[in-house]
Amino acid sequence: MKKLNAYIFAIAIFIADQVTKYAMLNIARIREVRQIEIIEIFNFTYVENRGISLGLLQAEDDLGRWLLVGATAAIAAIVGWWMTRETQKWDQLGLAMILGGALGNIVDRVRFGYVVDFLDLHFGDFRPFYVFNIADAAISIGVVILLIRAFFFAPAEENEHA
């Protein structure tokens, strides 16, 4: 994957995230109806996520909100810089997914003060994931790609010490 393609993919993820959130809020009116059952194991469920993954670090005031925006923006900047230096296509893909997802959630937090989540996979009362969005899924998949690459497909050291 060429670096430019990785940035284009990150922008595509960002756009997909924002379009689905727009559709949920303005077409499906999920904020008002709160939940739409799609199939037995999957709903659209409206959640205002004021924290980070897994409900950690809840930002209950403006200071917390802007600290989360700043921290996420710093991470996105580091990931964007890393993408300029990365040569492995799978790592570029993972980084692009993280960057696109981070940008989508930053925009939500700036606009609303929270991240809009609505994808709800469940099996009865068992929920293997918290309610999430396209950005969250992209970030999670991107991190998994990077971890798999780091642990199972890391390039051999060129200068091995005997």
Active site residues: 117, 136
**H/E run at residue 134:** helix 134-152
Question: DSSP of 57-77, one letter per residue?
Answer: S---SHHHHHHHHHHHHHHHH
Taking a C-beta distance cutoff of 8 angstroms, is the pair 82, 95 a contact?
yes
Q: Would the CA dihedral through 8, 22, 144, 98 be positive or negative?
A: positive
Amino acid at position 98, single letter: I
